[in-house]
Structure 1
Amino acid sequence: MASTISVLDLPPEITSVIFLHCVLDECGPVRRSEEYGPERRFPTLSEELAPLLLGRICRRWRSIAWSTPELWTMVEVDCPLCIDDVVPHLERWLLRAGSLPLTLDIHYDALSHTSSDALLRLLQRHSARFQDLTLNITPPDDLFRNEMVGALPALKKFDLIGATIQYSGGLQDWDGTITAFKVAPKLRDVCFMNLSPSKIDLPWGQLTTFRAESITVAECLLVLSLAPGLVTCRFDSFHDASGPAAVPPLLHLKSLILQSEFNYSTDVLKHLTTPTLVHLDAGELELDIWSAFLTRSQCVLDRLAFTDDPAMYRPVTYRQYFDALPSLSELKVRQVGQSFYELFRLLKACPLFLPNLKSFTDGVDLYRPWHKNGAELAQLVIEMLEARRRGAADNTRLEKFDLHETRGFVGSSRLAERLRVLVDGGMKIHIEGSESWGR
């Protein structure tokens, strides 16, 4: 006869492990996008969610949860207007973590009706254990008073998010300088949003990862000059501004992402020398600046994403842009024009053109004109894929092809069959609308 065991009869060690999985399942990463990666989620002070919910089931579970420090090492706190209501709950939470490193995500509105001193004193008491800290604040007021923060010997990752520019009193409008994070010997990873790097003292020389949003070109260059040890760097929504541009060679930089609504990528690249760069994601690449950058850097790029300007790129220039990149294995092109189809012809006819290309992605472009001969273009694409699949070494064959914008394509059942042969042979192919070719 089978016996049953009540969940309440499990050993405390097993129950603790189950509790940890409850938190991990509830707060696991949410996939946001390929570019930005997973969005982090943390436990909150809500009694309707783990781990606080676990303590409401029974006295035994509450005792086990309260005495499991790993449950309390991460928390997201959204401070209301009355901060005094939050501080005692947060204090108890952090004390339950014992001596373990802490991950905090604090959303704080300094326009509250109560003083932030209680919150500041709490942060000071536990600052020696901060390992991963996110501060989303509006505006900074006295939250960065150096004497109120305390030592940061364990801090490795720091995200600082200020008020957006349209709100007055945000970090962009603040006249002070943040000095509270200047001494953090383990800090390597920093993210800014709506904050000028000139307004904060950091141990720039030891940083390896940096991301910023809503800063100027001059501030981008300032960061790169202050942090020569960066390995990965990303600038989003940056805009134009004049200023000094003396940037020493970036001898460790492997990944650089320059995302801007307007074409300011070249304003950054023309000042850079990046001999170890393997991944570049940029806007439009002016040929003169691009060629000078490659000649100066002598980098061996493996991944490249860029925005094609239909008025700038001519069929003859594609070889000029890519002939110096025989190492390229991944290529993504956004917002392309009619001349872009010449790239298919080069890939089909010239085995030595981008010989190591394994992945090709064509970004969606709502402005690309319809091709005057859609059947010819669809035929060209299939022939290019077939040419890139045969006659090359196994380790250099095209393995992935994404074509998102196919307005004007005229496919056929015969082309669809040839496409299926390629897919059956192991190539991962997505051509928008090709599902209808076999009809």
Structure 2
Amino acid sequence: MAPTHINSFPPEILAHTVSFSDYEKDNCKGLLQLASVCSHWHDVLFASPQFWTTLKCSISTKLKNEPHTIVPQLIAHLERWFGRAGDLPWTLCLSFDVAPRKTASLNEYLVSIPRWKNLTFALDIKGGTNWTWLEGLIASAEESYATTNGRGCWPGLETLEIDAPDVRYGPDRLTLPLKYIAPNLRQFKITIKDLTAPVCTVFNDFSVASLTVFEFAGALGTETLSFYLHLLTHAPNLESMKVLDEQDDFSPVSPLSTDVPLPVVHHKLQHLALHDSPNAMNFLKSIRLPSLHSFDLARSYCPGGTAQPLFSTPVTDAVRDLVSTSRCEIRTLKLKWTPLFVEDLVSVVTSHPAVEVLELDEPACFWSLPEAFFDALQDAQNRQDVLPKLKMFSYNRGVRTYLAREGEEGFELFRRAPLEWWEASVETHAEFGDVFG
């Protein structure tokens, strides 16, 4: 006879059913609520290791330097939680609202666990100079390597993310000898405020051979394209590269490395995101990416105070050269805060017929009105179908997002007459604002 009550299911079936819920929402509060339904659910869920492999901890200003009792309490919480996960790989996110300096026992605990699969360390404080806690953790990990006959403390670590967008780093303060600590790392992401040192100094002891994802965001005091070329040369498995180094229009164009034969050919890179600058254009002309299908060009700040672009098409030329020499097809193209004149914007948009997703975030907005762009795009469309494979187009202006998606109302109008679509969209938003604003 079929079970008449869910508690009649075998424990593994009940656990499997729960896995389809949003139990991880709000840092697994849903899991704890489900475990409180009844003693049977409590026993089943607490005995199922797959539910206890991930934890996000927000470290408030209550955290003090040792010997404060909060540090051992935090460690005890981590031990209880992950103790239920058994031998499965573990994922931890520590988000700090305070910058403690002396937490040796916490460092020792983190370094002692070889089962970390994903680690994220985030710091949300304003005006920080260096992150002493993170430096102490890395130092502890290095010491572990030295005292364990050269065994990395995190051999199974696949993803490491450092999110400290308001922290400024001086020379020699940010070092990541990850080839000794996490030799099999696959994804690395770091966000800081700025670094007043060459980016290559951060990664002197960083083995990139196993990397599939590399992301760096933060202003660099010393630009070096050589590191990016080095990365492409020595990371054959890289699939996604994002480098937002915030170089501006007045930064001198850096000489390319003579140590790396040019152009650098990378056969697996599929996604590339760069900060728009003359150095980025120089970089594009020095690489060949036959598998590339997604390209983002952005600035992380409003370019209102930058030099006005020349009446030429440097972005179009660089991207077009990359596509033609690489023999790749760009299917996703995103431009954000790129200070382009209409001619260059239309050229870069219409020179990639394979584009399926096109996102424009305030492009060309500082030297012309959007109408000028859509008018020029409509002129190009009248001559030939410039975006034959397009499935989604979005245009952001201020807080407004104007969207045309295949299968939805307005898409065919955009494909046929972009200017008419824009005027109709603006009118619709205005009416919406009158009703609800």
TM-score for both structures, normalised by structure 1: 0.66
Q: For residue 269 of structure 1, what is the aligned residue in structure 2?
A: 284
Q: State whether residues 278 and 299 of structure 1, in contact with CA within 8 Å, keep that contact through their aligned partners in structure 2.
A: yes
Q: What CA distance in whole angstroms lies between the structure 2 residues aligned with 1:26 and 1:266?
A: 46
Q: State whether residues 157 and 188 of structure 1, in contact with CA within 8 Å, keep that contact through their aligned partners in structure 2.
A: yes
Residue range with higher mean Cα deviation, 132-141 or 239-248: 239-248
Q: For residue 121 of structure 2, what is the aligned residue in structure 1?
A: 135
Q: For residue 128 of structure 2, what is the aligned residue in structure 1?
A: none
2:47 to 41, 64, 67: 67
Q: What CA distance in whole angstroms lies between the structure 2 residues aligned with 1:78 and 1:384?
A: 45
Q: For residue 210 of structure 2, what is the aligned residue in structure 1?
A: 206
Residue type at the aligned position of 1:277:
L
Pairs within 5 Å for 1:157-306: 157-162=159-164, 164-165=166-167, 171=169, 175=173, 177-182=175-180, 184-194=182-192, 196=199, 198-200=201-203, 201-216=205-220, 218=223, 222-228=227-233, 229=236, 230-236=238-244, 238-240=246-248, 243=254, 245-246=256-257, 248-259=264-275, 265-266=280-281, 268-283=283-298, 286=314, 287-306=316-335
Q: State whether residues 265 and 287 of structure 2, in contact with CA within 8 Å, keep that contact through their aligned partners in structure 1.
A: yes
Q: What CA distance in whole angstroms lies between the structure 2 residues aligned with 1:147 and 1:310?
A: 48
Pairs within 5 Å for 1:84-95: 84-95=72-83
Residue type at the aligned position of 1:233:
M
Q: State whether residues 116 and 154 of structure 2, in contact with CA within 8 Å, keep that contact through their aligned partners in structure 1.
A: yes
Of structures 1 and 2, the one with the larger relative CO (CA 8 A, separation 6+) is: 2
Pairs within 5 Å for 1:40-439: 42-43=27-28, 49-52=29-32, 60-79=40-59, 80-81=63-64, 82-108=70-96, 111-112=99-100, 115-127=102-114, 129-136=115-122, 138-139=131-132, 140-145=134-139, 146-148=142-144, 150-162=152-164, 164-165=166-167, 171=169, 175=173, 177-182=175-180, 184-194=182-192, 196=199, 198-200=201-203, 201-216=205-220, 218=223, 222-228=227-233, 229=236, 230-236=238-244, 238-240=246-248, 243=254, 245-246=256-257, 248-259=264-275, 265-266=280-281, 268-283=283-298, 286=314, 287-306=316-335, 312-314=341-343, 321=348, 325-334=352-361, 335-336=363-364, 337=368, 339-340=372-373, 341-351=375-385, 353-354=386-387, 356-359=388-391, 361-365=393-397, 385-386=415-416, 406=422, 409=423, 431-434=425-428
Question: Which residues of structure 2 form unaligned runs of 5+?
Answer: 65-69, 124-130, 146-151, 299-308, 399-410, 432-437
Superposed displacement of residue 71, structure 1: 1.5
Change (3 A) 1:83 1:223: farther
- Count of aligned positions: 356
Q: State whether residues 310 and 339 of structure 1, in contact with CA within 8 Å, keep that contact through their aligned partners in structure 2.
A: no
Change (3 A) 1:268 1:51: same
Question: Which residues of structure 1 form unaligned runs of 5+?
Answer: 29-40, 44-48, 367-380, 388-400, 412-430
Residue range with higher mean Cα deviation, 278-287 or 154-163: 278-287
Greater Cα radius of gyration, structure 1 or 2: 1
Q: What CA distance in whole angstroms lies between the structure 2 residues aligned with 1:436 and 1:238?
A: 35
Superposed displacement of residue 101, structure 1: 0.9
Q: What CA distance in whole angstroms lies between the structure 2 residues aligned with 1:402 and 1:184?
A: 52
Q: What CA distance in whole angstroms lies between the structure 2 residues aligned with 1:142 and 1:436?
A: 54
Q: For residue 428 of structure 1, what is the aligned residue in structure 2?
A: none
Q: What CA distance in whole angstroms lies between the structure 2 residues aligned with 1:308 and 1:122?
A: 43
Change (3 A) 1:331 1:86: closer
Superposed displacement of residue 172, structure 1: 5.2
Change (3 A) 1:174 1:136: farther
TM-score for both structures, normalised by structure 2: 0.66
Q: What CA distance in whole angstroms lies between the structure 2 residues aligned with 1:151 and 1:403?
A: 60
Residue type at the aligned position of 1:131:
K
Q: What CA distance in whole angstroms lies between the structure 1 residues aligned with 2:38 and 2:347?
A: 71
Superposed displacement of residue 72, structure 1: 1.0
Q: For residue 403 of structure 2, what is the aligned residue in structure 1?
A: none
What are the superposed Cα offsets for residues 26-72 of structure 1, whole Å, 9 maximum, x if unpaired? 425xxxxxxxxxxxx643xxxxx244455666655443333211121
Q: What CA distance in whole angstroms lies between the structure 1 residues aligned with 2:45 and 2:392?
A: 50
Q: State whether residues 346 and 376 of structure 2, in contact with CA within 8 Å, keep that contact through their aligned partners in structure 1.
A: no
Q: What CA distance in whole angstroms lies between the structure 2 residues aligned with 1:385 and 1:19?
A: 45
SS at match of 2:214: strand
Residue range with higher mean Cα deviation, 187-196 or 288-297: 288-297
Q: What CA distance in whole angstroms lies between the structure 2 residues aligned with 1:214 and 1:303?
A: 24
SS at match of 1:433: helix
Residue type at the aligned position of 2:334:
A
Q: What CA distance in whole angstroms lies between the structure 2 residues aligned with 1:180 and 1:435?
A: 50
Superposed displacement of residue 363, structure 1: 1.7
Q: What CA distance in whole angstroms lies between the structure 2 residues aligned with 1:256 and 1:386?
A: 30
SS at match of 2:272: strand
Q: For residue 25 of structure 1, what is the aligned residue in structure 2?
A: 22
What are the superposed Cα offsets for residues 371-422 of structure 1, whole Å, 9 maximum, x if unpaired? xxxxxxxxxx9877448xxxxxxxxxxxxx8999x4xx3x6xxxxxxxxxxx
Q: State whether residues 347 and 384 of structure 1, in contact with CA within 8 Å, keep that contact through their aligned partners in structure 2.
A: no
Q: Report the RMSD for the aligned CA atoms in angstroms.
A: 4.1
Superposed displacement of residue 191, structure 1: 0.7
Q: For residue 378 of structure 1, what is the aligned residue in structure 2?
A: none
Q: For residue 38 of structure 1, what is the aligned residue in structure 2?
A: none
